[in-house]
Amino acid sequence: MIRALWFLAKVAIVVAIAVWLADRPGTVSINWQGYVVETSFGIAVLIAVAALGAAALLYRFVRALIRAPRNIGRYSRSRRRERGYKALTRGMVAVAAGDAATARKMARKADGLLNEPPLTMLLSAQAAQLQGDDRAAKEYFTAMLDRPETAFLGLRGLLTQAIKSGDRVEALQLARRAQSLQPNTPWLLGTLYDLEARAGDWAAAEGTLQQAIQAGAINPEEGRRHRAALLLERSFEAERRGRGDAALSHAQAAHDLLPGFIPAAARAARLLVRAGKHKHAAKTVERAWRAGPHPDLTDAYREVIDGYDPLTRVKLFEKLRNLAPNDVESHISVARASLDAQLWGEARAHLNKALEIQPSRRLYRLLADLERAEHNDEEAARAWLAQAAAAPSDPAWTCDACNAVSHGWGGLCGHCGAFDSLQWKAPTMTVSLMAPETSPAIAHQPHSAALPQSAS
Ligand SMILES: [Zn+2]
């Protein structure tokens, strides 16, 4: 509407000018070098206007001609970028969908079209990884280290590769380098802690563990247990270096941190005995016994009260039993002390009570021992042993990560190298790290080495 009005106004102005000129006739005469041109003033104005119009058109044409190459370049560049980003997007979708061939194809295409190395390198690396081409992926990740904006991502890729290939030394170096770039990244702190612990760098692992807990990578409860395990390993290390006082203080710190953590209580008690603090040692075992009786605590308590005669030892084990009177382990501990003291009736009574609560291989073996010791009855003993073979397996220190069974607690799994992965539970019998003479026949033994444990 406004356009139409504006057009009408322009027409009106032109008409008005034409009328005005027609009302005022006159001539224009040009005399140049002997040429004479004479025309009316109106025509002269018309020619002048037409000439100006032609000049303007010519100017526009020439300008467009000069700018053409640049405009064509700009257009083709934007088309290229558009196609590049499209390829990048399709490549990322292919990575997410696990389509390695398309991912690689799109990565190559995007790399050719786009001048965005950080984006295309990452896609190329991921595509190569997806295709199982670890060498190409490594090259891309390594190239990413040269640019500050991609260095961390490159390190992450290399770190993942190193862990996957089992090269823990390389992995630890990469994790430390990545941490220097981004110190508070939760996943990195969790990984670094794990690598340091597996490498046996206990002090560093303890520091990283604290950071990982603060960053939310490891929950505080799990973190406390890891810390207790680290303290125990420091205690073993101190002992290896002949520093008995440090060995004891680390073990006690672990026990104080987690009173129900059996390995810490048992070790602290043993080291207290060695330091001549028997009363304190007894208290340590009692405290843990209250939280949950355990065969390792029984063994530690036997060392604590080793100086007493067998009958007194039975009385002391009875006292210990009263802290958890109805636990199967409580009955077994008194039964074992009674066997040592040749109190056959007492031993049998407690073994029977234990049998009522939870039959197990160990219990049947003790009953067989009793038959041999009390009556020298080999036939009865064999009958109990036959029952032992059919009974469910006893709990043992079993690796959560690989199911390997260890004859004692250690910070590192002797089979898969995981840290703080041993749990007291019935093994599923995949791998056994037990000493050969106690190893059940059903378990195969790919690695016969026992845990790297310094306590024994
Ligand atoms: Zn393991």
Residue range 269-293, pLDDT digits in tens = 999 999 999 999 999 999 999 999 9
- 17: pLDDT confidence band, cut at 50, 70 and 90? confident
Domain count, the chain: 3
Residues 342 and 401 reside in one and the same domain: no
Q: What is the pLDDT of residue 433?
A: 54
Name the residue with tokens 């420091």.
234
**CA 266–ligand 1 middle distance (angstroms):** 22
Residues 366 and 401 reside in one and the same domain: no
Q: Which of 34-38, 44-48, 113-117, 140-144 has maximum average pLDDT? A: 140-144
pLDDT, mean over the chain: 89
Q: Are 425 and 450 in contact (CB under 8 A)?
A: no
**CA 449–ligand 1 middle distance (angstroms):** 13
Residue 436 domain flag: yes
Residue ranges making up the domain that contains 253: 219-307
Does the pLDDT at position 7 exceed 90?
Answer: no
**CA 267–ligand 1 middle distance (angstroms):** 22
Residue 126 domain flag: no
Residues 298 and 237 reside in one and the same domain: yes
Residues 226 and 245 reside in one and the same domain: yes
**CA 446–ligand 1 middle distance (angstroms):** 12
Measured distance CA(158)–CA(121) in Å, rounded = 13
Residues 243 and 287 reside in one and the same domain: yes
The beta strands (E) that lie in 214-349 are given as none
Among residues 392, 419, 437, the one where a domain terminates is 392
pLDDT average, residue stretch 139-154 = 92
* Selected residue with higher pLDDT from 30 and 263: 263
Does the pLDDT at position 430 exceed 90?
Answer: no
Residue 335 domain flag: yes
Q: Are 161 and 174 in contact (CB under 8 A)?
A: no
Bridge partners (DSSP) listed for residue 404 = 431
Residues 258 and 296 reside in one and the same domain: yes
**CA 23–ligand 1 middle distance (angstroms):** 111
Among residues 363, 392, 421, the one where a domain terminates is 392
**CA 268–ligand 1 middle distance (angstroms):** 25
Does the pLDDT at position 79 exceed 80?
Answer: yes
Residues 335 and 281 reside in one and the same domain: no
Does the pLDDT at position 316 exceed 60?
Answer: yes
**CA 453–ligand 1 middle distance (angstroms):** 14
pLDDT average, residue stretch 410-436 = 80
Please report, for the domain that includes residue 346, its CATH number: 1.25.40
Residue 54 domain flag: no
**CA 399–ligand 1 middle distance (angstroms):** 5
**CA 417–ligand 1 middle distance (angstroms):** 6
Does the pLDDT at position 449 exceed 50?
Answer: no
Residue range 91-110, pLDDT digits in tens = 989 989 989 889 989 988 88
Instruction: End-to-end CA distance of the chain: give it in Å, rounded.
Output: 100
pLDDT average, residue stretch 129-134 = 89
**CA 405–ligand 1 middle distance (angstroms):** 8
**CA 196–ligand 1 middle distance (angstroms):** 16
pLDDT average, residue stretch 237-244 = 95
**CA 61–ligand 1 middle distance (angstroms):** 80
Residues 366 and 412 reside in one and the same domain: no
**CA 44–ligand 1 middle distance (angstroms):** 104
Q: What is the pLDDT of residue 16?
A: 83
Residue 200 domain flag: no
pLDDT average, residue stretch 195-201 = 96
- Residue 143: which residues within 8 A CB-CB, separation 6 or more? 117, 121, 154
Residues 409 and 379 reside in one and the same domain: no
Residues 295 and 331 reside in one and the same domain: no
**CA 199–ligand 1 middle distance (angstroms):** 15
Residue 103 domain flag: no
Among residues 366, 392, 418, the one where a domain terminates is 392
Q: What is the pLDDT of residue 444?
A: 35
Does the pLDDT at position 251 exceed 60?
Answer: yes
Residues 361 and 425 reside in one and the same domain: no
Residues 298 and 236 reside in one and the same domain: yes
Residue range 381-404, pLDDT digits in tens = 999 999 999 988 889 999 999 999
Residue 91 domain flag: no
**CA 418–ligand 1 middle distance (angstroms):** 6
Residue range 318-335, pLDDT digits in tens = 999 999 999 999 999 999
- 30: pLDDT confidence band, cut at 50, 70 and 90? confident
**CA 331–ligand 1 middle distance (angstroms):** 32
pLDDT average, residue stretch 348-353 = 96
Which string of b and e fits 32-70 if b means at least 16 CB within 10 Å? eeeeeeeeeebebeeeeeeeeeeeeeeeeeeeeeeeeee
Q: What is the pLDDT of residue 448?
A: 35
Residue 349 domain flag: yes
